[in-house]
Structure 1
Amino acid sequence: MNHNTPAPLSPRPLRHLVESQRRVMSAGQLKAHGVTAAAAQEQCRAGGPWQRLLPGVFLLHPGPPTSEERLHAVLLYAGRTPGARHAAGGVPAQPAGRTPGPPTPPCADALVTGLAALALHGFVSAPPLPSLGHIDVLVPRTRRLRSTEFARLVRATGLPDPVQLSGVPVAPVPRALADAIGQLTEAGAVRRLLTEAVRGGHCEPAAVVRELTLARLLTRPHVVDAVDSLLAEGRAIAEDRLYAMVREYGLPDPLWNVDLRLPGGPHLGGVDAFWPDQAVAVELDTRTPRPDEPDVFSAYVRKREHLERLGISVVHLTPRKLRESLEQQAVVVRTALMAAVDRDPAAYVVVLPR
């Protein structure tokens, strides 16, 4: 041996792996600790101390895996972490001859999604993690890997920014919902998930519908019915917050949920709140574009422009603004009411109950 050639690492006792905090490791990570593929397979023999959970992923104890261990196994299998797999493009975690560094956590190029992600987000209507036969994991569309055993791959052109929950990279709620609903055929389960998403404040209806549209799920009748319930739920919650804003911040009482029209003229549209003396209207933007309603947005814009040409100031409020900054939205409405004295008088309109 040349004196300049470093001596190869001697295999370390396997006890240090079992006693570590890492109970799930990939073949590449084991190799970085001096454990060959053959030695890993030997540990997984019948009655042995280890188990093979997924291709190239090992559980370093003989009992059943916990939910956390299954999650980490799926991420090690699907991610491009150094040494995550001994095949399909896996690379060694450390060059030969170097002392292994600290363990590398799973990369965010694989995210837990679907029902498992919703369980991690705290959805009570999602099955608990131990009961799931599959764990969905979101990966780039170009990934050369197949679903296997309890790892089910969901491919995407681009991955969303992960949410870190319990040390696990998880898809945001709207994307996780779309991936979960894509696997569900029972209308009641779909409706329960969507209702909890909105009622529990996890996300806005518009964000969910965007993801369902991208996933081409709004062609399924049971999904469309559930989305209609979702939108009604979202509007009811937003209206309650609007009532609370007027009450809690001392705004003048408006006329609630009215239609406006010109005397003897055309219908101008409905608004959620209207102060006739100040000619100020509030409109909740719970509008959610749907594939079967391409002209909804254009009609909405035309209505708003028509009201403003008549001298009616329209304040736009979204459910998210009402949820996250209620006091600030009250200031916006109060400012519009105070500014009425400096504006030209508005056209006379007829106000009718809606």
Structure 2
Amino acid sequence: MNHNTPVSPRPLSHLTDAQRRVLSAVQLRAHGVSAAQMSGQCRPGGPWQQLLPGVFVLHPGPPTSEEQLHAALLYAGRPTASVGGPVVPAQVRAEGEAGSYGDVMLTGLAALALYRFSCAPSLLSLDRIDVLVPRTRRLRSTGCARLVRVHSMPQAQEIVGLPVAPVARALADAVAQLTDADVVRRLLTEAVRGGHCEPAAVVRELTLARLLSRPHVVDAVDSLLAEGRAIAEDRLYRMVRDHGLPDPLWNVDLRLPGGPHLGGVDIYWPDHAVAVELDTRAPRQDEDAKGSSLLERSRERGEWPEYARKREHLERLGITVVHITPKKLREALDQQATVVRTALMASSDREPPACVVVLPR
């Protein structure tokens, strides 16, 4: 059989070039190729090669990086047999769906390369391709495919027809394999600076992956949060300027006359008694995150209850506090400007607020 000719009378025109060159044993059987024919094609000097168990490259010579991605997904997407009968592999569940890989997706550095991270290594330089799979998947990592098991699969993104884990999840899986503090910091910084995701999402995934016990990861997260806040503050300035909101006081502390400190706010309109607070804290995590140094430091400083107490105290004094997250600023800036404008307009209908002293922060 010549590798330049169709493997069966059934057409392969619905497949991409890479998918025509990389097929699983089940897909080949569906196109009329027997197991004996597969073995014959893969003999030394033959036109095919078996890249992974049950996955074939239909040409001689080294596989391309794209072919390796398809091969890793085909291998990982293959379920094991269950009691009660054979299982139809996910990648051929429906007629013509040879490019469907079931419930698996690329993650780690391979995913970041597909997201075009400039500081991620090229696909050609990767020895292993990380694939996210359900924890119940019984296959083992082998060859170029490294399986990363997870209890709950995230919603995959599609890039060039391939299922890819969300950026925050891919980052966590990449960081799990890295020990170079500079590389980790550059990856996390690019994720935020490049607008791929918010710091809170990254911290959440790193915490769930139990990576915040590693000092070089914690240091990188501190830089990530500082970077995220700077970007969010810039959007906040833009919101006030571009939407014609009244000129506010920026980054001030509020205090009762002769009394206690009430806390700092990012924006304050004293004539309207309206404050805006930008919430760039790391998100509160589940009990599974116990032991992470970042979370422990946050709890030791009392950030969570202190934040709630400050907001409640200000509102009891008649000051309206508008809570804005970096994600809201990035995804719905116009909507957040409307929320703030509404709070300013409603100030005349409220009871006069308590007198507070405004100090630079």
Structure-1-length-normalised TM-score: 0.89
1:303 — aligned with what? 310
1:80 offset after TM fit, Å?
3.1
Correspondence 1:340 to 2:334: no
Mapping 1:193-208, distance limit 5 Å: 193-208=187-202
Instruction: Please say if 1:291 is aligned against 2:295.
Output: yes
- Map residues 102-113 of structure 1 onto 2, 5 A cutoff: 102-113=96-107
SS of residue paired to 2:240? helix
Output the CA distance in 2 between the equivalents of 1:28 and 1:318. Answer: 48
Q: Structure 1, residues 70-92: CA drift from partner, whole Å, max 9, x if none?
A: 111001100037xx99xxx9746
Distance change >3 Å, CA 42–CA 198, structure 1 → 2 = same
Corresponding position: 1:327 with 2:317: no
Q: Give the 5 Å matches for 1:254-273.
A: 254-273=248-267
Contact 2:252/2:265 (8 A) holds in 1: yes
Matched, 1:352 2:346: no
Q: Distance in 1 between matches of 2:317 and 2:95?
A: 70
Please report how far the alpha carbon of residue 14 of structure 1 lies from its aligned counterpart in structure 2 after TM superposition: 8.5
Unaligned 5+ runs, structure 2: 284-293
Where does residue 24 of structure 2 map in the other structure? 26
Q: Secondary structure at the match of 1:16?
A: coil
Aligned positions of 1:116-127 closer than 5 A: 116-127=110-121
Tell me by how many angstroms 1:101 deviates: 4.4
- Residue pair 1:108, 1:162 contacting (<8 A) in 2 also: no
Structure 1, gaps ≥5 residues long: 1-10, 94-99
1:295-352 CA deviation, whole Å, 9 max, x = no partner? 4222211110000000000011111111122122111111111111111111111111
The one of 26, 49, 52 aligned to 1:51:
49
Deviation at 1:64, TM superposition (A): 1.9
Query: d(CA) in 1 for partners of 2:108 and 2:338?
Result: 39
Matched to 1:291, the amino acid is L
Equivalent of 1:191, from 182, 185, 195? 185
- Which amino acid is 1:252 matched to? P
Residue 17 (structure 1) shift: 2.7
**Alignment partner of 2:118: what SS?**
coil
SS at match of 1:333: helix
Alignment partners' CA distance in 1, 2:274 and 2:95 = 64
Inter-partner Cα distance in structure 1 for 2:51 and 2:184: 30
Contact 1:31–1:92 (8 Å) recurs in 2: no
**CA root-mean-square deviation:** 2.3
The correspondence for 2:161, drawn from 167, 171, 181, is: 167
Q: TM-score, normalised on structure 2?
A: 0.88
SS at match of 1:17: coil
> Do the aligned partners of 2:3 and 2:48 also contact (CA within 8 Å) in 1?
no
- Corresponding residue for residue 42 of structure 1: 40
Using the alignment, how far apart are the partners of 2:32 and 2:311 within structure 1? Answer: 69
**Deviation at 1:62?**
0.9
Query: When the two structures are aligned, how many residues end up with a matched partner?
Result: 334
- Paired residue secondary structure (1:315): strand
Aligned-partner residue type, residue 145 of structure 2:
A
Identity across aligned pairs (percent)? 70
